[in-house]
Structure 1
Amino acid sequence: METKPLNVIAEELINRLAGPLIKVGNVPAVAAVRDGLIATIPLIIIGSLFLLTSMLGQNNTFSELAILPALSPYSSKFVVFFSMTMNFIALYAALAIGLIYARNLNIDVIGAALLALASFFLFNFNSVEAGLDSRMFSATGLFTAIVSSLLSVKCYSIFIKRKITIRMPEGVPPNVINAFVALIPYFLILSAFWFIRSILDFNFSSTINEALIPILNASDSIIVFTIIKFITLLLWAIGMHGDNMMSPLVSPMTYRWVAENAQAVSQGVPLNQLPHIWTTVVERISMWPASVWSVLALMWFSRLKQAKTLAIIATPAAIFTIVEPVIFGLPLVLNPFLIIPFVLSGTISSLITYTAFSLEWINRVFVELPWATPPFISGYIATGGDWMALVLIVVNFLLGLIIYYPFWKAYERSQLAENNLS
């Protein structure tokens, strides 16, 4: 009787929230941006780790002396590696987004990827004297890369599908055909971009950044962060993959923010004063210790045999933030006893986490790590070895225990009574 109202609410939430988000995520352009940015994650991770290694060999980083003095002679060389990865992330993104968007549109992926790259260069061309604005190759130019890639590849698709191309006779090798087919679209599209940028002197990059930077800065706020985490948890609670649902909306911002933080670190900005708080690492040290690890701890000491068995099975995965076994196995999904503490604990812990970073109690994140890295490892490493990140995880975990406890006891009594009746 109690689950029926929840099913009605869930169905309405799916229609209102999940349905539109799924449609947005399946739009070819949105999917290309999401998957293209995901493709750059290895470069972001490796580059930020090299930056962290460089800092270990520098004086006055975490102490008056270098943590690893043996690395000091090579510290600047590690920064070179960081520069060739993180400082060119927009360039890599332009290529990846163009390629994936072309695949989504079912056109020649190589030709489209090269066109996206050439368009990105033209967008960032200043003048004959000044040449390319290489600053835009870093995270600063990430949204320029997105716009230039999507626009150029979409135009390319229109030309191809309307057959505004050079037609080759039968028997010509496919690679030769693709080269000549691309000739007219390349010429017209790149010429149009060149004319707008050079002849009309319209600066694509500065216009895009001037329009988006105020929005980005406003988005990295405690209110937006907490609301997004609430919606993410709510989607999980009704059976949807909340992270995947929200990823197309937030990943372009979080990847840029962690890259900008890393760039600020390389310029000597104090770790607790980096420009951005919201990153994927911050999300994971806030939500899952409170909303999943805490209920998992209660399951270990539960009188319910099935809960204790599931805890044994699910704990190794949960440590690596693979939370599906608990969410769908217990389940937390549409559970009339546990859905409220699940959403509430993760939302409040997100609020507390953002507050702690904004008050500069903890070093801000400048290292990107694989999503499955345990939070107590990612939180410590990504903040440059700040032990306060571990304290914050413990606080979030204990908060989750306090919120879950009365709900869990009610759920446990209900299940024991049901088992006795059966």
Structure 2
Amino acid sequence: MSTENTSFMDKLMSKVDVIAGPMTKFGQIPFIKAVVNGMVGSIGVTMVGSIFLIIYLLCSDGGLTETALLPFMKPWAGDLALINSLSMGMMAVYIVIAMGAEYAEIKGFNKTTGAVGAFFAFILLNYNAVGKLFIEGVATDALPGALEITYWGGAGVITAMVAGAIAINVIHLCYKYHIRIKLPDSVPPAISDSFSAIIPYFFIAIICWGIRTIGGLNIPEMIGQMLLPVLSAADNVVVYSLQQFLSALLWTCGLHGDNITGAVTNAFLNTWIGENNTAFLAGTAVKDLPYVWTPNLCRLSQWVSSCWPILIYMFMSSKKLPHLKPLAAICFPPAIFCIVEPIMFGLPVVLNPFLIIPFVVTHTITGALTYMLTSVGFIGKMYLALPWATPSPILGYLAPGGSIGGFIIVFINLAIGMVIFYPFWKAYEKSEVKRLEDEAAATVAANA
């Protein structure tokens, strides 16, 4: 590396070091720490769900290929999908329970009380009525009392955060000001804690019921409605880049950015790729197809420029931070298939003050670059609707009917992500090494 390049990198590292202190302090805010620890605590379930999702894709028609790659397992495909639905598909439930326990411990009261209270708040914030079963989004009159679980997955993580914040702080305030039922010390702690939680739980019910049922506020839907006027049906680089920016920003806050922005954009994106396909079959050249922005265009940039560099740096930092190597090894196979929840919630990237900036920046820059290179013909316009889990280099080549540029752009975006993430990752690595050293020193001092 030349002296000039080294000097530039040193200057960039020094700029990142300036904000490293505030970023570290942000990560130590009790609520942020509880959310992060809750996400890490739920990662085992998410990992298992990712494994079964990959197996499901391999043994189902239309998963990764038109016909199943493991046809002998097709009879069990639906059963395998169920495990994924009950793990990754209910991610917010596991996060809110783990977060409630972690936040309660930070606040200094019983972890079980916190976990139950947070889950109670989550349920209350999700529903203003029960009694209908929803099948693929369509309400039926079957099974009265059934609960629809659309917002129990990634789209419901923000609700989980709000629920945890309300529940734990209500319980903490009630305990602080002795607004609770106090039983004699002779009563077993499990019974005493249960009775102590009755009054706080009552206040939690009033607050969350008031928000969702009386106020009619559905938090995930509210966010989608806020984005509707922003992400109108416009196939241009400005709106596309804005969508990538917002999706990344939502992800860093713990929200499933793709699902939320997709609720606004999917209707016209699916129409556009259909029109591209019709035009191609009618004899239109790939470069002259009407639309650049199609459902899978983002797969050529978003995760390959963010999660893939993070995984590489996790392996590279494993000597200083040994716990990263097994985590990276588990996260790597799902990431190949664009299943990024394990790394987003396992490292985590979500609410990680050191990684938020490069994550959003890489999504936006590589998204804009990919769009522009597609519009000028370097990447072929997509007209084949391949499965979303198709590995990005293969997708980039096949979806436009055989585009070398679609294959190459994946690795260009990977390189861009590696460069942008480098100084921020080194700051994160330095912070984590110091944290581990401080914890080791504290353990030694406690045992002395």
Q: TM-score, normalised by structure 2?
A: 0.55
Superposition pairs for residues 311-330 of structure 1, below 5 Å? none
* 1:29-59 Cα distance to aligned partner (Å, 9 max, x none): 1122222223333333322332232222222
- Tell me which residue corresponds to 1:137: 152
C-alpha distance in 1 between matches for 2:370 and 2:115? 42
5 Å matches for 1:266-285? 273=295, 282-285=305-308
Q: Does the aligned pair in 2 maintain the 1:32–1:97 contact within 8 Å?
A: yes
1:210 aligns with: 222
Return the offset for 1:154.
Answer: 1.0
Residue 192 (structure 2) pairs with residue 180 (structure 1): no
Is the Cα contact below 8 Å between 1:124 and 1:133 reproduced in 2? no
The number of residues matched between the two structures is 321
Cα distance, 1:83 vs. partner? Answer: 1.3
1:202-239 CA-to-partner distances (Å, cap 9, x unmatched) read 233x2453136646997x9647978999xxxxxxxxxx
Contact 1:43 1:86 in 2 (8 A): yes
1:65-88 deviation digits (Å, cap 9, x = unpaired) = 322211222211211112111221
Give 1:150's aligned residue. Answer: 165
The aligned counterpart of 2:286 is none
| Alpha-carbon distance in structure 2 between the residues aligned to 1:179 and 1:401 | 50
Partners of 1:101 and 1:137 in 2: CA distance: 20
Shift in alpha-carbon separation, 1:21–1:363, aligned structure 2, 3 A = farther
Q: Match of 2:48?
A: 46
- Determine the structure 2 residue equivalent to 1:80: 82
Q: Is the 8 A contact 1:123 1:148 kept in 2?
A: yes
Matches of 1:401 and 1:121 in 2, distance apart? 40
Contact 1:122 1:194 in 2 (8 A): yes
Give ranges in structure 2 of 5+ residues lacking alignment: 133-144, 232-238, 274-293, 330-356, 375-380, 398-405, 421-448
C-alpha distance in structure 2 between counterparts of 1:256 and 1:397, whole Å: 20
RMSD: 5.4
Q: Which amino acid in the other structure matches residue 28 of structure 1? A: P
Cα distance in 1 for residues equivalent to 2:419 and 2:113: 57
2:306 alignment partner, SS class: helix
Q: For residue 30 of structure 1, what is the aligned residue in structure 2?
A: 32
Residue in 2 that maps onto 1:300 = none
Q: Distance in 2 between matches of 1:158 and 1:182?
A: 12
Q: 1:92 to 1:274 in 2, by over 3 A?
A: farther
Distance (Å, rounded) in 2 between the aligned partners of 1:67 and 1:354: 34
Q: Are 1:66 and 2:88 counterparts?
A: no
Q: 1: distance between equivalents of 2:111 and 2:76?
A: 40
Long gaps (5+) in structure 1: 230-245, 297-311, 323-342, 368-378, 404-422
**CA distance in structure 2 between the aligned counterparts of 1:313 and 1:115, rounded to whole angstroms:** 38
Residues 259 and 109 (structure 1 numbering): CA distance in 2 closer, same or farther, change over 3 Å?
farther
Aligned-partner Cα distance in 2 for 1:398–1:128: 49
Aligned AA (1:163): H
Deviations 1:311-368 (A, max 9, x none): x999xx999979xxxxxxxxxxxxxxxxxxxx99xx889844774489577999967x
Distance 1:125 1:313 in 2: 46
Q: Percent identity?
A: 21
Q: What residue is the counterpart of 1:21 in the other structure?
A: 23
Residue 141 of structure 1, CA deviation? 1.9
The partner residue of 2:186 within 168, 171, 176 is 171
In structure 1, how many angstroms separate the alpha carbons of the residues matched to 2:16 and 2:101?
A: 35
* Change over 3 Å in CA distance of 1:71–1:392 after alignment to 2: farther
**CA gap 1:197/1:250 in 2 versus in 1, 3 angstroms:** closer
In the TM superposition, residue 121 of structure 1 has moved relative to its aligned partner by 1.1
What amino acid maps onto 2:208 in structure 1?
F
The answer as to whether partners of 1:259 and 1:366 remain within 8 angstroms in 2 is no
